A and B are shown apart, each in its own frame.
Chain A
Amino acid sequence: MMRRRIYYPVLAAAALVVVLHVALAASGKTYYMTQITMSAYYALVVIGLCLLMGYAGQISLGHAGFFAIGGYTIAVLTTYNLGNWRDTPAIGLLRSLGLLMQWQDMYGRDILSFSPWLAFAVALLLTTLIALAIGLPVIRLRGHYLAMATLGFGLIIYRIVLGARLLGQADGISNVPAFGLADGLQVNGRAPFRVQNYYIAWFAVLAAMVLSLNLIHSRVGRALRSIHQSEEAAHSLGIDTYRYKLATFILSALFAAVGGALLTHYNGSIGPSEATVMKSVRYVAIVAVGGMANLWGAMLMGVVLNFLSLRGVFGSFDDAVFGAILIGVMIFAPQGLLRMPRLRAVTFLLPRRKRA
């Protein structure tokens, strides 16, 4: 019974993804897949943030920081040339363990670097540690204090990536190689790989949805919802509110880091612009529009709004649109766009969250 609520919608979504592919191919517009893929990775961040904001009730104005941690870690580790240490025993050991990668960059230079799998693992580990370090003191705070603390965290990450020579400073890191997942399957932005990357990205998003839906429909999820409704009441019932909030914070950070890592491989580069306050604000705006506690809404809005923004549909008004969305949603539809009475009709297809 539980499975129906989770797996049927996910399968339906997967089917829609395939239908979309067919439609695009038929109309000869498969190039839209580029922006859809990029948007899907941004949607990963949004899904995690939705868990944090909508279910655990914590605001984060610094989530772009976690995206940047994931992206930059993977970028540095896969582009740093270990060639000079080729003959040292340490490098020899790593090589024999299959943790290194030999490849040629765009200019034909030979590069010996850490393999993307290792880099990915390191990125996740680093994100967990940092999220723990930030979360431990900060989750205690309420309301605007928490907002400011996460804002401060985001700002520090931005300053670090902007100032550190290893991280490319203002130019960021380019020439990031492809991430080989399996034989013939690569996370890569080049045209021949467009279709497979479309499916890789959606796979990641739907996997995240499955994980999140399982979470919110479990005991943990119910505990989170009760915390969101009333923290004192939940606490009095014996729920370890602090631990649950911290765990959700770390999980949402990991979602963001995965999005960052994969998008970096897809784009082949990353820059400090991914760690700005404006990016964090955008993620918050998208969660707000999609519905604070509406995972599907958040995912949908994440893909749609980023898609439009990346294609330049908003022109020079990009930031203004997100700002206006924030204001508009907060005044008119605080439950999210998809819960407005007039749009109810559209949402009957989507799984409804039972109000606790």
Chain B
Amino acid sequence: MDFALFVQYALSGITVGSVYAIVAIGFNIIYCTTGIINFAQGEFLIVGAMTAISLAEVAPLPVAILGAVLITTALGAVVELVFIRQVRNASVLRLIIITIGLSIVMREVMLHIWDEQVRSLPYFTGTEISTVTILGAHISPQVLWVLGVSAVIVAALTLFFRYTTTGRAMRACADDRMAARLCGVNDRWMVTLSFMLSAGMGALAGCVVSPITQTQYDMGAPLAIKGFTVAILGGMGNSMAAVAAGLFLGLLEAFVVSVLPSSYKEVAAIVVLLLILVFRPSGLFARRDMSALRTA
């Protein structure tokens, strides 16, 4: 294939891969602080996008997005306080099942609040037919927004975890919860904060991709599955690796389409997941110490 076509595929892969990466980072944050796999992570993206769409009818776009992020963050806190905190002596099995149940219930509530119609946010810049040319490939300017926002989120998180007290407290919890408590860290609040952070991040990601992918009440689950694949691929808990793994999976899917019938695209992701789980469950980039929250 010629270079322009190659770049076209690559860009399509990177776009979709960065969304996967954001979902994976959301998983990682919660996993590191609590050990829980949050199956409802995908739903946070959709709730954020849907809320923004509703708010955008009465407010300018930036305000709508901000409002959606705040509301979804609050939702994340509510979810943690009401459902997760109540479970004592929780085994992994129980927590997994609870988050699965949450994912389903959130999806159904969204269906009844917003009905089954497909909606989308307006493009941040330009319209549906604007296109930007990069190295011979044509993409929508929204793609640049997706890449930009993802990069900002990752950068902001890195700074947060490295340089702020709260961030370091969360990392402490991830490393050793009891020790963190002994140091005076309010670990229960850290758990709530991790949910809030994941939810808010997810909402922002949901908003930025909404013009490209459109938003429908049941899009959460497939996103969560892909995001989880990416999280495991990079190694649970390792956010920088999640970014790399997300881009890898996105590119893999895009290039699979170029040589095989496109129905194999979905299978590629699942096969990758199974291979990783069987041969290297700690992930491609894992080092010895698995439980730390690493963003750098």
Contacts and interface: CB of A to CB of B under 8 A. Distances in A.
Whether chain A touches chain B in the assembled complex (some CB pair under 8 Å): yes
Interface of A: 53, 57, 59, 61, 137-138, 141-145, 147-149, 151-153, 155-156, 159, 163, 277-278, 281, 284-285, 288, 317, 319-320, 322-327, 330-331, 334
Contact of B102 (A142, A153, A323): A323
Given A152-B277, A153-B274, A319 B98 contact: no
Given A61-B100, A144-B37, A152-B273, 8 more contacts: A138-B277, A155-B270, A159-B266, A285-B97, A285-B101, A320-B108, A327-B98, A327-B105
Classify chain B's interface size: 20 to 34
B103 A330 contact: no
B59 interface: no
A326 B104 contact: yes
Interface in B271-296: 271, 273-274, 277-278, 281
A323 B218 CA distance: 14
A327 B274 contact: no
A326 B228 CA distance: 21
A233 to B, nearest CB: 16
Contacts of B277: 138, 141, 145, 148-149, 152
Given A138-B278, A147-B96, A323 B105 contact: yes
B87 A331 contact: yes
9 contacts: A137-B278, A148-B277, A156-B267, A156-B270, A284-B100, A323-B102, A323-B105, A323-B108, A327-B98
A336 to B, nearest CB: 12
A136 to B, nearest CB: 9
Contacts of B228: 148
A14 B225 CA distance: 42
Contacts of A325: 101
B278 A327 contact: no
B232 interface: yes
Contacts of B83: 327, 331
A159 B270 contact: yes
Given A138-B277, A138-B278, A148-B277, A277 B101 contact: no
A347 to B, nearest CB: 21
B166 to A, nearest CB: 27
B263 interface: yes
Contact of B270 (A144, A152, A331): A152
Contacts of B108: 317, 319-320, 323
B94 interface: yes
B31 to A, nearest CB: 9
A15 B107 CA distance: 42
Contacts of B103: 323
Dominant SS at the A interface?
A: helix
B159 interface: no
B109 interface: yes
B295 to A, nearest CB: 21
A30 B126 CA distance: 63
B254 to A, nearest CB: 18
Given A319-B104, A320-B108, A323-B108, A141 B98 contact: no
A102 to B, nearest CB: 36
B97 A319 contact: no
B260 interface: no
B199 to A, nearest CB: 17
Contacts of A141: 277, 281
A145 B104 contact: no
Contacts of B266: 155, 159
A148 B93 contact: no
B273 A281 contact: no
A288 B93 CA distance: 10
Interface in B90-118: 92-94, 96-98, 100-105, 107-109
A149 B232 CA distance: 11
A144 B92 contact: yes
Contacts of B104: 278, 281, 319-320, 322-323, 326
B92 A330 contact: no
B271 to A, nearest CB: 8
Nearest to B36: A144
A324 B101 contact: yes
Contacts of B94: 330, 334
Contacts of A288: 97
Contacts of A145: 232, 277, 281
Contacts of B125: none
Interface string B223-249: 001001000100000000000000000
B221 interface: yes
Contact of A327 (B96, B101, B271, B281): B101
A208 to B, nearest CB: 23
A329 B264 CA distance: 38
Closest 3 CB pairs of A and B: A323-B104, A326-B101, A320-B108
B86 interface: yes
B267 A159 contact: yes
A62 to B, nearest CB: 11
Interface in B149-166: none
A37 B86 CA distance: 38
Nearest to A59: B93
A320 B109 CA distance: 8
B222 to A, nearest CB: 9
A277 B107 CA distance: 14
Nearest to B37: A144
A179 B206 CA distance: 50
B96 A144 contact: yes
B274 A152 contact: yes
Contacts of A59: 93, 96
Contacts of A284: 97, 100
B182 to A, nearest CB: 27
A236 B59 CA distance: 65
Contacts of B86: 331
Nearest to A53: B93
